[in-house]
Structure 1
Amino acid sequence: MDNETTYDVVVIGGGAAGLSGALVLGRARRTVLVVDAGTPRNAPAAHMHNYLGREGASPHDLLAIGREEVARYGVQVVDGEARSATRQPDGSFVVHLADRSVTARRLLLASGVVDVLPDVPGLAEGWGRTVLHCPYCHGWEVRDHALGILATSGHAVHQALAFRQLSSDIVLFQHTAPPFGEEELEKLAARGVQVVEGEVAAWGPDGVRLADGTVVERQELVVAAVVRARLELLGDLGLEPTDYEMDGQVAATYVDADPMGLTAVPGVWVAGNLADPRAQVINAAAGGLVAGAGINADLGGEDIRIAVEQHRGARAAAARWA
């Protein structure tokens, strides 16, 4: 392939992690292509929080600003999906897009995760607005509201007690979770959390509808989604997701990596929720920064090795002709 389709780094995913990594690499004068499918995890949310200096900003606005910033350093961003990626015998990679293929010396996977919600009608429609999961992401905005907690595991007790700090009106719906233990029930009772038995049939504007038809008025409902790593490209590259368990159940999957984001496959880094399903936006951006620096250092070592080999070859050739 010609030089126009060869990059030092191809970044898969244009969220906070991918753009942060691309920014570091662009500033290091690396040639970088970011491929963005346009499906960020926090797309339904109107605001993001706990990002110092960007508190309450729109996730969409953050990414728009990020694209403008990386463009200053020559980083190219394209909208689309990377359909497959293969590692070549020389250690480089070929990434196949919808309309072309590109080569890369290194890959940064920052394609994120998908939240798999419990199978209850209405949850998907309210996700990120009236259906929530994290007290740090949404808690302040729903303080003093009438909140429901949908239990699918024992982790719901932890969620109920965490949100109790923000509101005194908490109802924990037993739903499909195993029976709570005496110690858990004591904690809930001590904090004034009401426990309602029976499965939840639906969530809607009126609140929680139980299987027996009873409606419990709630303003928001807290759920625990299963966070699954996006599997695109992982199999192509020989990577397998790792399970993260809570309360004996798989709560998330992610790609295992070292502290810099380097995976078990040489030349492939991960960042953001793909590396840490618990990461908020600011953590994802920081992970992209660390991975970008690691990739640049790795490329720098390779550049030096190649230069030394060429230098030695030139000296040897000059000696032969002397």
Structure 2
Amino acid sequence: MTQTNPVDIISDELPEDTVDTVVIGGGAAGLNGALMLARSRRSVVVVDAGDPRNAPADAVHGAIGLDGTPPAELLRRGREDVRRYGGLVVAGTVVDAAPLPPAADGDLGFRVRLADGRAVTARRLLVATGLRDVLPEVPGLAEHWGHHVVHCPYCHGWEVRDETIGVIATGPMSVHQALLFRQLTDDVVYFSRGIDLDDPDRARLAARGVRVVEAPVSEVLRADDGGIAGVRLADGDVIERRVLAVGTTLQARTEGLEALGLATEEVPPGIGTRFVSGLAGATDVPGVWVAGNATDLTAQVGAAAAAGALAGARINADLVIAEADAAVVATDTVGSVA
């Protein structure tokens, strides 16, 4: 182990030899995929940029046996697990991943290049880059992200129960979000921000005692204790709130992967963009799998980890078949020569 990156990920040295699999992304999906591969005695390298989506959060919730664990601690344990079975975790940012010409035995290959110029080759790739949350452009909102500004009632709802909550609408699903948070507190205000509400939605909100505010949101006000004091409207009125819920636009992290030619698609209604994947994370690009939030935009930590494990198992199975087929060819060649 040779270096520590700015977010304190101890980095292994990048191997010179071709490895069985490079995992791009060191979150729950990537680490669990790497764990499955390493336990199958595969050479595996996880390239971790050290920028997890849930870094601002205080704890992971909704994951049995891990509830309340700080995200950084969960990932630290995950890296230890991968290394225990011989896997490597390398701190770095992938700037280019591209297929190589087939090997002499017909097997696949990829070259992965990092921002500092280092490179590694692999027979298979697991893309687990996660996603990026894009917040609406409301002054004062972003600085509270992950603490007093939340998005998921299952991830953070218990922690903000009984607070005064404001839901800042970003699309049609925001009404559903307001009703979910109404389950956790009896004081919810819905800031529509110009989004039309149909009669059934208005009826549901009214029946649950959710106040609808039509005036545009001008800014989020900071409280003396560093939290949120409320929301200032365009007409100058201030509505006191301690917590804001907002649906972000979810964008799979695709940077550096363009040369792979992985298909992406928009997820309606306005939820975001994901990598297209099939069974166990398989893609249309031979030798490349994808797992976690990069393809399942709404997966929580437990679901992302499970998807990574399944993809890792499928990659190992694919390698097993490739090696068995190569062994058959080699045996036939020896037999024909003899």
TM-score w.r.t. the length of structure 2 is: 0.90
8 Å Cα contact 1:5/1:101 also seen in 2? no
Deviation at 1:130, TM superposition (A): 0.6
Partner Cα distance (2:247, 2:137) in 1: 12
CA distance in 1: counterparts of 2:16 and 2:95, whole angstroms = 20
2:298 to 278, 296, 304: 278
1:135 aligned residue (153, 167, 181):
153
How many residues are treated as equivalent by the alignment?
313
Matched, 1:170 2:193: no
> Percent identical across equivalent pairs?
52
- Deviation for aligned residue 1:82: 1.0
Q: Which residue of 2 aligns with 1:120?
A: 138
- Matched residue, 1:21: 33
- In structure 2, the partner of 1:198 is 215
Equivalent position to 1:41, from 53, 59, 63: 53
Of 54, 73, 76, which aligns to 2:88? 76
Distance 2:15 2:142 in 1: 44
Distance in structure 2 (CA, Å) of the matches to 1:8 and 1:312: 25
The question of 1:157 aligning with 2:157 is answered no
Amino acid at match of 1:294: R
Shift of 1:258: 1.2
Structure 1 segments of 4+ aligned residues over 2 angstroms from their partners: 2-5
* 3-state SS, counterpart of residue 86 of structure 2: coil
Alignment of 1:127-276 (within 5 A): 127-177=145-195, 179-205=196-222, 206-246=229-269, 250-276=270-296
Instruction: Give the CA RMSD over aligned residues.
Output: 1.3
User: Deviation per CA, 1:11-66, whole angstroms, max 9, x where unpaired?
Assistant: 00000000000000000000001100011110100111010000111010000001
Are the aligned partners of 2:95 and 2:257 in contact in 1 as well (CA < 8 Å)? no
Secondary structure at the residue paired with 2:281? Answer: coil
Q: Could you list the per-position Cα deviations for residues 170-212 of structure 1 after superposition, in whole angstroms to 9, with x for gaps in the alignment?
A: 00011132x2112111111110001111111111322111112
Cα offset, 1:214, TM superposition: 1.3
Q: Confirm or deny: 8 A CA contact 2:132 2:253 kept in the other structure.
A: yes
Is 1:85 the counterpart of 2:97 in the alignment?
yes
For 1:303 and 1:227, the matched residues in 2 are separated by: 38
TM-fit CA distance, 1:241:
1.6
CA deviations 1:226-258 (Å, max 9, x no partner) are 000111233210113211002xxx211111111
Aligned to 2:5: none
> Residue type matched to 1:302 in 2?
A
Cα distance in 2 between the residues matched to 1:5 and 1:120: 49
Contact map agreement 2:168 2:174 (CA 8 A) in 1: yes
Instruction: Give how far 1:4 is off.
Output: 2.9
Check the 8 A contact 2:98/2:257 in 1, yes or no.
no
Query: 1:3: how far off?
Result: 7.5
Distance (Å, rounded) in 2 between the aligned partners of 1:152 and 1:277: 16
User: Are the counterparts in 1 of residues 216 and 234 from structure 2 also a CA contact under 8 Å?
Assistant: yes
Find the counterpart in structure 2 of residue 294 from structure 1.
Answer: 314
Q: CA deviation at 1:5?
A: 3.1
